[in-house]
Structure 1
Amino acid sequence: MNDTGIRVENLTKIFGKGDAQVRVLENASLEVKKGEFAALVAPSGAGKTTLLMMIGCVEKPTSGKIWLGDELVWDEDHWSIRDPRKIRREKLGFIFQAHYLIPFLNILENVILIPTTNGIPRKAAEKKAMELLDYFDIGDKAHAMPSQLSGGQNQRAAIARALSNDPHIVLADEPTAALDMSRAVNVVKMLRKIAKERQVAIIMVTHDARLLPYCDKILSIENRKVVTKTQVAQEFI
């Protein structure tokens, strides 16, 4: 049985041409297995978000290969899948620094948005959404508006939304940056629990070294390549 969640081989990303050319990543490789929670750390501008967006089928690589599970989605210089948007909707969950909840929809409506867009009947989507909101201890806030919730509650709602389509992979871009340490640790513990219980491969971009002990592996971008570490020196944070 294939336990790979994310596999990247020799990924290169170049922006611009000629004298304006910038190589962000060059022959970068990594693997995150199902059930693993990985942190991605590097100095600002090193390409963390770009790497996440390429894995998430949002940004096109210049060359290399990307597998999501056992499916090859990018092969050297082209998509090897018909519709990258379908992969994003069905296999991926995204969490960002800001929660990006739609302010004129209540929490339940925000969470069911992706599954109903994917054709899931509303009643089934609402049942799953309530299970997720209860899991994150905000079931009683289902009919509240985002403006009525705290920052930590909104971020939990955003995580519930990211899980609403039962993703195989979750990509989190600094999901705790706007939270105090106590709330940040709670969110990271939730992500680790999700990875283990649901066998989801999770990559989290973070600058906070205090959160690294909660992760299974550390991915660092060094000299435009990805290095897997068990510990990260302070200069990379």
Structure 2
Amino acid sequence: MTKQAIRVEKLNKHFGKGDTFVDVIHDASFVVNKGELVALVAPSGAGKTTLLMMLGCVDEPNSGQIWLGDEKVYDDKWLTKETRKIRREKIGFIFQAHYLIPFLNIIDNLTLLPQANGTSDEDAKKKARELLKYFDIADKEKSMPTQLSGGQNQRVAIARALANNPQIILADEPTAALDTERSIDVVKMLKKIALEQDVAIVMVTHDERMLQYCDKVLKIENRAVVVEKVIV
């Protein structure tokens, strides 16, 4: 069985025309394997989130190829009209803010997506309770988001990203709102998840102190080329 979770070949993304043309991602080619925590770094405005959203089948590239697992999902165009289905079934998202639904308790926040995918209420709650136990917040399942600390809410947000058993987790600066100690805790947690759950995690970060916990670093240089670098 292949370890490939994401494969990108000659991916391109630009904005504007003529004098306003900006080549953001140019001929990017890289592979992210299952079990890897990969950092995506670049200066502000250089296209980190754009690349992440292309991998997440949210933002459409201009050309190139994308594979998610063994499935080719993009080849100069989306190969399916059901990109939303791909996102629901294969990808988990984590953002800077936790974006928990404030009027739902914690376990209902975790079961919402699996139930939308057709998972039974019983199975969704079983999975949610396993995740809450894994993140050491099992006693918070009936709590509301406002009753939890910032760090606890981010744990719930990470648990929610795992609730649909994704192959890939895309995290857009998940530690931006946290202090250094909590940031390190979250990144170590993501590393543990990548290994134990055998998922690929791509994490946008501006904090170079987090890179030591990652397996690879993808850098966007000169607003054009994505270069893969391996942390030794």
Any runs of at least 4 consecutive aligned residues in structure 1 with deviations exceeding 3 A, and if so which?
none
What does residue 42 of structure 2 align with? Answer: 42
- Structure 1 residue 2 displacement after superposition: 1.4
What does residue 135 of structure 1 align with? Answer: 134
The residue type paired with residue 72 of structure 1 is K
Q: Counterparts of 1:119 and 1:16 in 2: how far apart (Å)?
A: 40
Which runs of no fewer than 5 residues in structure 1 stay unpaired? 233-237
- Structure 1 residue 14 displacement after superposition: 1.2
What does residue 21 of structure 1 align with? Answer: 21
What does residue 73 of structure 2 align with? Answer: 73
- Structure 1 residue 118 displacement after superposition: 0.3
- Structure 1 residue 98 displacement after superposition: 0.3
Aligned pair 1:179/2:172, yes or no? no
What does residue 215 of structure 1 align with? Answer: 214
Greater Cα offset, 139-148 or 14-23: 14-23
Q: CA RMSD in A?
A: 1.1
Alpha-carbon contact 2:26-2:226 (below 8 Å) kept: no
Structure 1 length-normalised TM: 0.95
- Structure 1 residue 22 displacement after superposition: 1.7
The residue type paired with residue 193 of structure 2 is I
Count of residues paired in the alignment: 231
Written as runs of structure 1 = structure 2, the 5 A alignment for 1:152-191 is 152-191=151-190
The residue type paired with residue 63 of structure 2 is S
- Structure 1 residue 231 displacement after superposition: 5.1
What does residue 235 of structure 1 align with? Answer: none
Alpha-carbon contact 2:94-2:174 (below 8 Å) kept: yes
CA deviation string 1:203-225 (max 9, x = no partner)? 00001111111100111111311
Q: Counterparts of 2:231 and 2:108 in 1: how far apart (Å)?
A: 40
Q: Counterparts of 1:225 and 1:137 in 2: how far apart (Å)?
A: 40
What does residue 230 of structure 1 align with? Answer: 230
Q: Counterparts of 2:155 and 2:56 in 1: how far apart (Å)?
A: 21
CA deviation string 1:27-84 (max 9, x = no partner)? 11111101111001110011000000000000000000000000001101x1112300
What does residue 10 of structure 1 align with? Answer: 10
- Structure 1 residue 16 displacement after superposition: 1.9
CA deviation string 1:4-29 (max 9, x = no partner)? 01011111101122322221111111
Aligned pair 1:55/2:55, yes or no? yes
SS at match of 2:196: helix
What does residue 31 of structure 2 align with? Answer: 31
